[in-house]
């Protein structure tokens, strides 16, 4: 099968197309004929080698942790998914490929296309996990740093659906985008504390840092301490006594299925930019630059 592979760590140009063996599903796994693969900032961090001390990768490797596609083979013991089912979920093997294996998948509603479906698994689980960790409730005000990316697009909507008010940061070109998602928008950078205080004179109840770009000290000032601040991207968090939430293994088919239904019904929107599989290096270059609106995806023939 055709796949995108890297056999050394480095920049996006280490990614190349290769012909590799089609993977065989083990117990509890399904094999999926991939229609769309989701890009995550994590893919570039793994490819660069920066995570080798904490999360070693065996080379050669196929990137990609989420997929949408059609089930084409079942491993032993799988009874709730059938060959021919259209699904979305997390991949156990790299999803930048024509076929990948998966353990946790949810049905793709007919009204949701492949590209928008693959925007949901990682971003949806992350957004929901952190909002739960922060205990965001109706009537509260949440500050989100860097909310115009894949996770932020869903986090803003899931928080406002809980009845919370969201103040969200992004660059100047994404202010209208944040507003369209339901947030009160402001730019990141200088005088952030004063600007947020002006927007929320009674203070912010919780802070969700999605950017990892040095906003934690401002967050402590705004919260008056380290309570109810969570980051998913700032590796300096623990030194400041702030919670870093890691990718969770508590993946839920039921919650992903419900999110997919909401997306198909238009209750949750995603924004995607798609590249063909062969342009994975270009897509990762865009992702590495860190100014993506919504989700980058790869389409697979």
Half-sphere exposure of 217 (CA within 13 A, CB side): 7
Shortest spacing between CB 152 and ligand NAP, in angstroms: 5
233 interacts with ligand NAP by CB under 6 A:
yes
| Element at 72 (helix H, strand E) | strand 66-74
Give Cβ neighbours of residue 90 (< 8 Å, ≥ 6 apart): 65, 66, 67, 102, 103, 104, 105, 121, 122, 251
Interface region with ligand NAP, contact rule CB under 6 A, candidates 35-43, 57-65, 90-98, 267-275: 35-43
Shortest spacing between CB 122 and ligand NAP, in angstroms: 6
Burial grade of 252 (CB within 10 A; 0-12, 13-18, 19 or more): middle
Of 91, 93, 104, 148, which one interacts with ligand NAP (CB under 6 A)?
148
Of 212, 216, 222, 223, which one interacts with ligand NAP (CB under 6 A)?
212
β-strand pairing of 2-5 with 243-244 = unpaired
Please answer whether residues 81 and 105 qualify as being in contact, where contact means their C-beta atoms are separated by less than 8 angstroms. yes
249 interacts with ligand NAP by CB under 6 A:
no
Of 145, 165, 223, 228, which one interacts with ligand NAP (CB under 6 A)?
145
170 interacts with ligand NAP by CB under 6 A:
yes
Please answer whether residues 44 and 288 qualify as being in contact, where contact means their C-beta atoms are separated by less than 8 angstroms. yes
Residue bearing tokens 């961090």 = 45
213 interacts with ligand NAP by CB under 6 A:
yes
291 interacts with ligand NAP by CB under 6 A:
yes
Residues that bind ligand NAP (CB under 6 A): 40-42, 122, 126, 145-146, 148-152, 169-171, 174, 188, 210-213, 232-233, 245-247, 287, 290-293
């Amino acid at each position: 099968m055709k796949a995108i592979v890297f056999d050394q760590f480095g920049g996006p140009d280490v990614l190349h197309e290769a012909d590799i063996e089609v993977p065989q599903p083990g117990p509890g796994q399904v094999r999926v004929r991939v229609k769309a693969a989701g890009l995550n900032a994590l893919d570039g961090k793994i490819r660069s080698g920066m995570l080798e001390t904490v999360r070693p990768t065996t080379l050669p490797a196929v990137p990609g942790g989420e997929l949408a596609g059609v089930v084409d083979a079942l491993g032993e013991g799988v009874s709730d998914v059938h060959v021919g089912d259209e699904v979305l979920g997390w991949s156990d093997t790299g999803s930048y490929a024509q076929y990948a294996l998966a353990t946790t998948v949810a049905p793709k509603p007919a009204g949701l296309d492949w590209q928008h479906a693959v925007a949901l698994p990682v971003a949806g689980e992350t957004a929901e996990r952190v909002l739960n960790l922060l205990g965001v409730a109706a009537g509260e005000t949440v500050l989100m740093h860097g909310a115009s990316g894949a996770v932020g697009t869903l986090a803003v909507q899931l928080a406002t659906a809980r009845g919370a008010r969201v103040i969200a940061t992004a660059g100047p070109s994404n202010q209208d985008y944040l507003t369209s998602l339901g947030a009160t928008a402001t730019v990141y950078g200088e005088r952030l504390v004063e600007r947020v205080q002006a927007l929320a004179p009674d203070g912010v109840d919780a802070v969700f840092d999605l950017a990892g770009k040095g906003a934690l000290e401002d967050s402590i000032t705004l919260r008056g301490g380290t309570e109810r601040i969570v980051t998913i991207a700032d590796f300096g968090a623990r030194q400041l006594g702030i919670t870093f939430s890691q990718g969770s293994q508590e993946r839920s088919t039921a919650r992903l299925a419900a999110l997919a239904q909401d997306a198909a019904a238009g209750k949750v929107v995603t924004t995607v930019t798609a590249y063909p599989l062969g342009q994975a290096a270009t897509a990762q270059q865009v992702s590495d630059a860190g100014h993506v609106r919504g989700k980058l995806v790869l389409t697979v023939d």
